């Protein structure tokens, strides 16, 4: 670990990359929330006001992303359940 560097910035960036690459909605939301926590920890360790504001804004944006992902799964879950009725089998098309 090098002196003078804020390790939480790198951790937050890594968590954001994991969130963008995640295939599962729950994993994605969890990674965004982890990124938000890391941005807040980075802001707590920072002494420069400009960076504190930047890290706090990044934390808020990450939380919005986590909430946006969670609300889209509720909307996407209902249409497939309605369209799940099986079609009758046409035996004349088999051979």
**Would you say residue 89 lies in a domain?**
no
CA-to-CA distance for 36 and 61, rounded, in angstroms?
A: 8
**Would you say residue 64 lies in a domain?**
yes
Q: At what angle do helices 25-45 and 49-82 cross, to 10 degrees?
A: 170
* Dihedral angle, C-alpha 57, 62, 65, 67, nearest 10 °: -100
| pTM exceeding the 0.95 threshold for the entire prediction | no
**Would you say residue 84 lies in a domain?**
no
**Would you say residue 87 lies in a domain?**
no
**Would you say residue 92 lies in a domain?**
no
**Would you say residue 11 lies in a domain?**
no
**Would you say residue 81 lies in a domain?**
no
**Would you say residue 3 lies in a domain?**
no
The more confidently predicted of residues 58 and 94 is: 58
Domain that holds residue 48: 17-70
Q: What is the pLDDT of residues 23-65, one digit of tens each?
A: 889 999 999 999 999 999 999 999 999 999 999 999 999 999 9
**How many domains does the structure of the chain reveal?**
1
CA-to-CA distance for 32 and 54, rounded, in angstroms?
A: 17
């Amino acid at each position: 670990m090098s002196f003078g560097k804020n390790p939480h910035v790198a951790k937050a960036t890594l968590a954001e990359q994991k969130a963008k690459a995640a295939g599962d909605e729950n994993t994605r939301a969890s990674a965004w929330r982890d990124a938000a926590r890391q941005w807040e920890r980075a802001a707590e360790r920072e002494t420069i006001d400009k960076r504190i504001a930047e890290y706090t804004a990044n934390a808020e944006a990450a939380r919005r992303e986590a909430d946006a992902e969670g609300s889209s799964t509720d909307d996407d879950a209902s249409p497939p359940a309605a369209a799940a009725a099986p079609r009758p089998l046409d035996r004349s098309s088999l051979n």
